[in-house]
Structure 1
Amino acid sequence: MIYKQLSYLPIIFQVDEGIVLGVDEYLRRNKLSFTNILVVSGKNYSNKIGALVADKNGWNRYTLEDNTFREVELLKTYVNRYNIDLLVGVGGGKVIDTVKRVGYLSNTNNLSIPTIISNDGLISPISVIKNELGKTESLPAMMPMGVIIDIDIIKESPVKFLQAAAGDVLANLSATNDWVLAFQQDRERMNDIAFHLSRSAVSSLINFDEIHLLSKSFLRLLVQGLVNSGIAMALSGTSRPCSGSEHQISHAIDFLEYGEGVLHGTQVGSISLFSLFLQNKVEAKQMKFARTVGIPLLFDGLIRNFSSRRFEEIIDKSREMRPGRYSILDMLTTNQVMEKYEEFRAFIKSNNF
């Protein structure tokens, strides 16, 4: 059966050290009972963690190759054939997104145990899946009924993933500013709770006393920020609380294949600083936070063979990436955006950020 959730919000939310093997206890504590549980993981590190979880509880295991349409169909077929009633996704974004998508398509509960964090997709109602051409698509997904995050495991992941996670939360600032602009232009409605969840996720990080990616107290706050971002998207029924002009530009870079292959969160976090400048909302503490966690202050270094021509293409294409999504880019011409970028470069230099 499907357990009813308010707006499909998670029932289980655990963040602590050494808790990865406590899945069965958290299910019992919440009086959740399943008869056929499948642990889904990737091929590398997550496979080892998935094996520990499955072996401890006598659950079956399934290994994913990638987050493709084909893998989604294969897992969905398995779930339906063997009457799986709970999917436990153990891994990074590819595993979690595939499990959420299959949960949506097969009407099956799912629970997430991330082994890395790099973006706000942990519990969002959206899955990023590769189509037949290798291009990613953002598709509807079933939010996990729970998320269990073992800080000891997350802390061991490469620093670049933690940087990306911080960047993705940072992007909430420019995204919510764009949301306000759209609301003021009567283009969209607001959801106050979603708005404040998104803003509080990033403000708590920026104003934290001990900003250090390997600090367990900072990691707890970062995880909570990612989860709050996912809940904000679920409450609003859209990615709007966490996606604005910075994501439009990032999607354009990816679509044109001009990127240098950096993680999504790092890319949108870097671009968000420029979006904040366009919105006349940039502050010193935002720049200092980005520098401290390793987010590039200028995003042109993330573009392969950067040139004025490529920049122009990116800005033009960005307005096409999310039709109907109003942002600061709709208030400026492409030439104005390009001129503003040079002003932003000078702003960074003059303030010694």
Structure 2
Amino acid sequence: MPLLARSVQTPLHIDVRRGAVADLGRILADGRISAGGDVAVVVGPGQGERIADMIRPSLGSADVYTTTGGTLDAALELAAKLRSRSYDAVVGIGGGKTIDAAKYAANRWGMPMVSVATSLANDGIASPVASLINDGIKGSYGVHIPYAVIVDLDFVENGPERVNRAGIGDVISNISALADWDLGREVRGEPVDGLAASLSRVGAEAILTMPGDMQDDAFVTVLAETLISSGLAMAVCGSSRPCSGGCHEIIHATDTLFPGTASHGELAGLGALFCTYLRGDERRFAQMSDCLVRHNLPRTPADVGLDISQFVEVVEFAPKTRPDRYTILEHLAMSPDEIRRKLTEYADAVADR
């Protein structure tokens, strides 16, 4: 019988622990990414420059570039700078905006990219996607998955707790995204990739009920590994479908209509809880609501500073952000009045938790 298999793109090296950044030079050499440390190090505001100073002794040939990140223009500006000479790899150090800019810039010239995350705000640390704002609208740009992913728990611990907690919302939103994927299969015959779904689901289930918080190394390690697993799920699938459904349509709609409202992960948790309520899944709704409360994450529009009318506008606009996606929002196709009524019922359900 023939042996059937498929190749899956994964990072050459994944390291989640305290003190990992100090070993960056060795990691690059052992992974055959850069033997001599001839890399472009990209840092952003915050802890990035501090880390760059720490790794200089082992990466003496590195050049350090600073980026504001977050926008396509910033990523293109960084890409232009990377043409100054030949590099073995691009090492992005910092939060999501810095890493996304580094991923996009490296991908533009076909350079290997190494992700060194200093926060756990979302699953972009290991995904084959760069989320960048262009002309005021946040878009998702396909890039090569990072060749290595490093998370140093010392730097995560020293970062803003609210930023790191947001990653919990992004992780548990996978459960809502997978329910939307199943809905697409049932209604439209959309194929579901079982391996990608498994990678997305397992970590989300762990975080949903796991005790502990951001002061607990065991919990933070599982959160980091789960965010990485979400990135692998997208790489396996070839799209963000395993981790992005109606919950993320709500994120993109909020970012477009009311920019600066809340972080990606905070909105992901809120969007996932609302979409789960719309599905009528009481068990999942209770689990998600309890998890968000436990980690002090938003559950209602008011928690992120939006009134009912604004959130009605968000939910109505959300399907337009991903016209190719079929989620509970497309399935119900609610009018503004129906959305308003559902939101009133949703607020009561949340209050009862």
Shared fold by TM > 0.5?
yes
Question: Are the counterparts in 2 of residues 37 and 84 from structure 1 also a CA contact under 8 Å?
Answer: yes
After the TM superposition, which residues 1-353 of structure 1 pair with which residues of structure 2 at under 5 Å, given as runs? Answer: 6-34=7-35, 36-58=38-60, 59-131=62-134, 133-208=135-210, 210-257=211-258, 261-283=261-283, 284-304=286-306, 306-308=307-309, 310-332=310-332, 333-334=334-335, 335-350=337-352, 353=353
For residues 40-84 of structure 1, the C-alpha deviation after alignment (integer angstroms, 9 at most, x for no partner) is: 111432111122113432022111133333332332223233011
Q: Structure 2, unaligned stretches of length 5 or more? A: 1-5
- Deviations along 1:169-222, one digit per CA (max 9) or x if unpaired, are 0111111100000011125211001111111111011222x2312111100000
Tell me the SS of whatever aligns to 2:236: helix
Residues in 1 aligned to 2:93 and 2:253: alpha-carbon distance in whole angstroms: 30
| Aligned 8 A contact 1:122 1:226 in 2 | yes
Contact 2:16–2:153 (8 Å) recurs in 1 = yes
Identity %: 28
Cα distance between partner residues in 2 of 1:160 and 1:203: 21
Number of aligned positions between the proteins? 342
Q: CA RMSD in A?
A: 1.9
Task: Find the aligned partners of 1:47 and 1:69 in 2 and give their Cα distance.
Answer: 22
Note if contact 1:90-1:113 (Cα within 8 Å) is conserved in structure 2. Answer: yes
Q: Name whichever of 328-337 and 11-20 sits farther off.
A: 328-337
For 2:90, what is the secondary structure of its paired residue?
A: strand
Question: Would the aligned equivalents of 2:249 and 2:319 in 1 still touch at CA under 8 Å?
Answer: yes
> 2:250 & 2:68 partners in 1: Cα distance?
29
TM-score (normalised: structure 2)? 0.91
Whether the aligned pair in 2 keeps the contact of 1:54 and 1:61 (CA below 8 Å) is: no
Q: Which moved more, 1:160-169 or 1:50-59?
A: 50-59
- Contact 2:46/2:94 (8 A) holds in 1: no
CA distance in structure 1 between the partners assigned to 2:80 and 2:338 by the alignment: 51
- What is the TM-score normalised by the length of structure 1? 0.91
CA distance in 1, matches of 2:98, 2:196: 26
Distance across 2 between alignment mates of 1:173 and 1:282: 14
Shift of 1:109: 0.3
Gap runs ≥5 in structure 1: none
Distance in 2 separating the partners of 1:191 and 1:287: 28
